[in-house]
Structure 1
Amino acid sequence: MRIRDLPYADPGVPDTRSGPRLLLWLSRRQLGGQSAALGWGVLHMAAVALFPLPLGMAVQAVVDRSGSRLALAGGLMLLLGALTALGDTMLHRVSVANWITSAARLQQLLARKAAELGSALTRRVAAGEIVTVSTADVEHIGWFVETQSRFLSAAVTTLAVCASLVFYQPVLGTVVAVGVPLLVLAVLPLLPPATRRADEQRELAGHAAELASDTVAGLRVLRGIGGEELFLARYRRASQEVRGAAVRSARMWALIAAAQVLLPGLLMIAVVWIGVGLVRDGRVGVGELVTVYGVVTFLLFPLRQFEEAAMAYSFSRPSADRAARLLALRRTVEPAGAGAGRVPVGDLRDPVTGLRARAGELTAVVCGDPDAAGLLADRLGGHAPEAAAGTPSVLLGGVALDEVPQAAAREAVLVQDKDPVLLSGTLAELLDVPSSGRVSPEAALAAACCGDVLDSLERSSADRSAGAMAGYITERGRSLSGGQRQRLALARSLLADPEVLVLDEPTSAVDAHTEARVGEGVRALREGRTTVVFTTSPLLLDRADRVVMVRDGQVVAVGRHDELLRTDRAYRATVTRAADEGAGAPDPVLTEAGRRRAESASANGRIEDSA
């Protein structure tokens, strides 16, 4: 796989049983790149390892005053230097490609998982953990995949060099062959505490980053209540904890690095000490001693590769554990087969709550608890978090959404969250979404009452002649007000024109006059299409064909808005924001003030719309 061929047509099905198994799966998917890196790594390190051989030949040639052997040694040096440069260049190129392609594969898998679970993902995994996995953890895992080939090439070269030394000079070769494994094993006891300290540092750093993000997001509120210094002190304490953990982790890794220098140095002293004795006895020539000394010096290089591989694994293992947990998340029920390509049109029914939205009608749902409303909206779209075993799925046209392909379910039912996200870009890019083609962008923007938004974008556009569609929207729509963001998101959902549209509090940030116009616009544009609106606004409830009230997870009332105002005390209390005292009493009494508020709200909506 080459970098220019990314993204993968099929990133594969990962092994998510554990972090190490995920790392092994990624390595297997990179066998071609790993094999190429291994080959170039062996060439590079073998050329470096053999360099002491012509160096020793040159020293011995000078001692023996042999010009021909000195020239031969020089030629070998040039050849090994060229091979070293070629191997190092290609090893770096292939290793970086392995890093990037493995990270890209993992990012594709994470993106598909986020698309599969939708809004349910953040209810099952903290948003901060999702960000950590998709950024720092992906980088750590790619680093480990990249170091594997260099570690294997270092191991192969080290074994070959030790075996060659035993044949070349048995006494000194035996010392090196016994000493090198001991050097590697001596560092292993230091790795577990180093890993624990690195994990502690990452955990504290994540907490500090989350605290900083929350502080920045709520800075305006903090300034209003004078809480800046309080949160600044909390962040200062958190950052000092991160600093202390980083220092403790650095000390352990410094100890490992020092051991990697000290222990090979002791081996080198032993080789020189024994070698000098052999030279005095005439058993070893000066050139042979220089060769063995050079080879031992070379062994410091693969030992550093072992250290880097150990560091990469210690950092990537917890990262792989988090990635495996996220990738292991599944829909509530996996479809048994491919199923039909489309979901049949019909009533939308939830067997758990008893909610039924008739096909082609505008149904308003009233929930006293906003969180319960959000969960029910997700459930209607098939995005509900993992439910208890045996919980029935939502039915559309008599077909369970969890038993059809996910793409078909999402094409049929679109859920707009109460806090929709606007990505940065132009208005034309924002509205470039899959749609049926029956609704034009102009009609969707008009139904959502986005006239003032269009004027604002047109004035801020660098090219006035291009119109509002070329107006730029900043990240998350921060350049717009809350009501403007909400209406643009609504226009985007209307433009998609799904069979079933579920809106969760689509007008909570707009004024009453605009809310009434939006309600009428949505009703007109969605005529003949199934629409479900979660709201407690009388201005929207009055325009619904049917109103359903859900309380404690069950439908408790169904009817027209004006009918429920007269007959249901709990409904009146929820809609008029009055205290619901004694909701279970057999003789509920609606206060005169509450009745006037409800009737006035409905009347104002009709008057403002006709104006």
Structure 2
Amino acid sequence: MGDAPRTRRLLHLLRGSPRMTGGAGVPVEGRDVLRRAITGQWRHTAGGSVLAAGHQACEALVPVMVGLVIDRAIATGDAGEVARWIAALAVVFAVLSLSYRFSFRLAERASELAAHDLRTELAGRVLRARGGAETGRLPGELVAVATQDAKRVGAVNVAVASAISALAGLLAGGVALLRVSVPLGLLVLLGTPPLLLLAHLLGRPLERRSGDEQERAAHASGVAADLIAGLRVLKGIGAEAAAVGRYRRTSRDSLAATLRAARAQAWHDGGMLILTGVFIAVVALVGGRLAAQGEISVGQLVAAVGLAQFLLSPLSILSWANGELAQGRASAARVASVLAAPPAVTGGDGTLPQDVRGRIRLREVTHDALRGLSLDVAPGELVGVVTADPAVAASLLRVLNRTADPSSGVVELDGVPLSGLDPAEVRRAVVVAEHDADLFEGTLLGNVTAAVPPDAAPDTVEAAMAAAAADEIARVLPHGAATALTERGRSLSGGQRQRVALARALATGAPVLVLHDPTTAVDAVTEARIADGIRKVRSGRTTIMVVTSPALLAAADRVVFVDGGASTAEGTHAELVHGDEAYRTTVLA
């Protein structure tokens, strides 16, 4: 991990927040996400809407006042009255300018805050101890949901404020036209609802295709991130062409979805332009006919034409807001799918006593590759678990970490079934250090101290670094342990990264520590030192090493050989090497 403050923030998210929903049997739908995004920022959105409505009302007043100037000032030739009306126009322009400025500021603030809240909620859901949000999704897809989709949902606040202001503008324009001519006013007021209905129908295809576009784009981002993370491995096995082909196919699918969404956007915008154009043309034609018949004055005709032109603005805003709402609904559905993802493990809210002895017991556990595995580890024992099947090791780690519950059998800690404990409580006592553990940006020391408990002994970090031979790394770096590491610790070699990750795991001082192949990239001499260091630093605390390293297994009190998902032999490393051919082949091959 990175530095301690970052870890504390992640742990805070891991525990969840009372505001969060989903993932625990509570359904979350797209409309719920949209409603919360708007109501959560209702003060800013309402303030922005009021100011934006004031801006639109002032815009509607401009042609009306110009018509009044023509009828009451220019026709009479009174220069003083002309000056007064011009001053009044200046005030109106000042008000509409300030209203627009501050309404946009409030709406944007609501948008950014809503998006930030969603990102925080999504991060909390992904990091929740019970898991499940990541199932079936690449990490890049989750990042896309938390960034692009959250931003689109937040932008709905701007769309809502804009739509309210546009409706206020249409209402103000309709009322003004009613004062000029009842037929014109009724035409606007009665014609707006059908126009809004047609706009909603035009937005349906855009909403569907926008959702597909975001889905494909997120998948492409996830594949790209996955390939970049494994770039060195791909080059090592000569699989660059296959990787390029995979990304090309994914990228083309994303491009096709984007083009479909762009076509839907074009049809939507074009359709709205035709609708609004026809509507304005009808208003202008009716106004011109009334003026030709002498039913309205020249000033009123100017006001009517000006109002007809003004109506283009709120109608265009409604068209834009309708498109934003369509895209926001699609993104909200994707956000909801993450928040409502079922947890990987259900049930269990028990707690452990403060002092955990560390007795681990598996009784006839079946899960994925495990087939009735039984294992008993005494408190303070250092046990090696050997298996030739990586799937067996992965399944064992999942049930010990309670990222999955066994389909049958029981996993116990100090006699308490893990299925009855809160997963976060399990991980307080049982720390599983997986083989592919990542390092994070920050200093070498910051990575090691990331998970050190507040009440740890002063020499905990120093002892952990020595045990993992990470102190040797610090001595050769430019600034020692204070040297900053690059992303994922790529400035270190593979063996150095493993040693730092092992030091981080040892520094937790967990009552039960499970290590999975922590020294596969380390030379034999250093591995022997690490084996001795693990035994010393973990003295009196339970440690399970899922490894095939002879050096580590020789340091274990006891070794359990798992073949076919079940325990087939146990004893010391020396006894099994001499007495079990399958074990000897697995360890020494």
Global fold match (TM > 0.5): yes
3-state SS in 2 of match to 1:85: helix
The residue that corresponds to 1:495 in the other structure is 507
Deviations 1:99-131 (A, max 9, x none): 221122112222222322488754553323222
Matched, 1:304 2:316: yes
2: CA distance between counterparts of 1:213 and 1:408? 32
Note if contact 2:74-2:82 (Cα within 8 Å) is conserved in structure 1.
Answer: yes
User: Aligned-pair distance for 1:259?
Assistant: 2.9
Which 10-residue stretch deviates more, 347-356 or 207-216? 207-216
3-state SS in 2 of match to 1:363: strand
Deviations 1:496-531 (A, max 9, x none): 211111111111221222212111101100100111
2: CA distance between counterparts of 1:215 and 1:331? 26
2: CA distance between counterparts of 1:224 and 1:344? 44
Note if contact 1:341-1:408 (Cα within 8 Å) is conserved in structure 2.
Answer: no
The residue that corresponds to 1:474 in the other structure is 486
Equivalent in 536, 545, 554 of residue 542 of structure 1: 554
Which 10-residue stretch deviates more, 353-362 or 245-254? 245-254
Equivalent in 449, 455, 462 of residue 442 of structure 1: 462
3-state SS in 2 of match to 1:162: helix
Read off the aligned partner of 1:355 and give its amino acid letter.
Answer: L
- Provide closer, same or farther for how the CA distance between residues 416 and 235 of structure 1 changes in structure 2, counting only shifts above 3 A: closer
2: CA distance between counterparts of 1:127 and 1:523? 36
Read off the aligned partner of 1:59 and give its amino acid letter.
Answer: I
> If the length of structure 1 is used for normalisation, what is the TM-score?
0.83
- Provide closer, same or farther for how the CA distance between residues 342 and 319 of structure 1 changes in structure 2, counting only shifts above 3 A: farther
Note if contact 1:11-1:109 (Cα within 8 Å) is conserved in structure 2.
Answer: no
> If the length of structure 2 is used for normalisation, what is the TM-score?
0.86
Read off the aligned partner of 1:528 and give its amino acid letter.
Answer: G
Deviations 1:127-168 (A, max 9, x none): 232222122222222222442232233334434543453355
- Provide closer, same or farther for how the CA distance between residues 557 and 322 of structure 1 changes in structure 2, counting only shifts above 3 A: farther
Equivalent in 384, 408, 421 of residue 364 of structure 1: 384
Deviations 1:282-308 (A, max 9, x none): 221222222232233232222233223
The residue that corresponds to 1:105 in the other structure is 117
- Cα RMSD for the two superposed structures: 3.0
User: Aligned-pair distance for 1:204?
Assistant: 4.0
3-state SS in 2 of match to 1:171: helix
2: CA distance between counterparts of 1:192 and 1:186? 10
Equivalent in 322, 330, 333 of residue 343 of structure 2: 330
- Provide closer, same or farther for how the CA distance between residues 123 and 350 of structure 1 changes in structure 2, counting only shifts above 3 A: farther
3-state SS in 1 of match to 2:374: coil
3-state SS in 1 of match to 2:302: helix
Which 10-residue stretch deviates more, 406-415 or 215-224? 215-224
Which 10-residue stretch deviates more, 109-118 or 359-368? 109-118
The residue that corresponds to 1:457 in the other structure is 477
Note if contact 2:385-2:546 (Cα within 8 Å) is conserved in structure 1.
Answer: yes
3-state SS in 2 of match to 1:282: coil
The residue that corresponds to 2:21 in the other structure is 14
The residue that corresponds to 2:287 in the other structure is 275
3-state SS in 2 of match to 1:205: helix
Note if contact 2:435-2:516 (Cα within 8 Å) is conserved in structure 1.
Answer: yes
Deviations 1:286-334 (A, max 9, x none): 2222223223323222223322333223323333233222222325124
Note if contact 1:343-1:412 (Cα within 8 Å) is conserved in structure 2.
Answer: no
Which 10-residue stretch deviates more, 45-54 or 546-555? 546-555
Read off the aligned partner of 1:488 and give its amino acid letter.
Answer: V
Match runs of 1:119-158 below 5 Å: 122-158=134-170
2: CA distance between counterparts of 1:367 and 1:232? 34
User: Aligned-pair distance for 1:480?
Assistant: 0.9
The residue that corresponds to 1:92 in the other structure is 104
Read off the aligned partner of 2:343 and give its amino acid letter.
Answer: R
The residue that corresponds to 1:594 in the other structure is none
The residue that corresponds to 1:582 in the other structure is none
Read off the aligned partner of 2:412 and give its amino acid letter.
Answer: L
3-state SS in 1 of match to 2:19: coil
2: CA distance between counterparts of 1:209 and 1:330? 24
Which 10-residue stretch deviates more, 556-565 or 502-511? 556-565
The residue that corresponds to 2:402 in the other structure is 382
Deviations 1:534-556 (A, max 9, x none): 11112111111122233344333
2: CA distance between counterparts of 1:376 and 1:209? 31
In structure 2, runs of 5+ residues without a counterpart are 1-11, 366-372
3-state SS in 1 of match to 2:45: helix
3-state SS in 1 of match to 2:532: helix
Matched, 1:411 2:431: no
Read off the aligned partner of 2:468 and give its amino acid letter.
Answer: A
Which 10-residue stretch deviates more, 566-575 or 96-105? 566-575
Note if contact 1:541-1:561 (Cα within 8 Å) is conserved in structure 2.
Answer: yes
2: CA distance between counterparts of 1:334 and 1:222? 40
The residue that corresponds to 1:47 in the other structure is 58
Match runs of 1:492-531 below 5 Å: 492-531=504-543
Read off the aligned partner of 2:486 and give its amino acid letter.
Answer: T
User: Aligned-pair distance for 1:379?
Assistant: 2.0
The residue that corresponds to 1:263 in the other structure is 275
Which 10-residue stretch deviates more, 373-382 or 191-200? 191-200
- Provide closer, same or farther for how the CA distance between residues 251 and 492 of structure 1 changes in structure 2, counting only shifts above 3 A: same
User: Aligned-pair distance for 1:228?
Assistant: 5.0
Note if contact 1:453-1:484 (Cα within 8 Å) is conserved in structure 2.
Answer: yes
Note if contact 2:138-2:222 (Cα within 8 Å) is conserved in structure 1.
Answer: no
Note if contact 1:118-1:383 (Cα within 8 Å) is conserved in structure 2.
Answer: yes
Match runs of 1:397-408 below 5 Å: 397-408=414-425
- Provide closer, same or farther for how the CA distance between residues 235 and 376 of structure 1 changes in structure 2, counting only shifts above 3 A: closer
Identity fraction in percent = 35
3-state SS in 1 of match to 2:449: coil
Equivalent in 182, 196, 199 of residue 194 of structure 2: 182
2: CA distance between counterparts of 1:40 and 1:46? 10
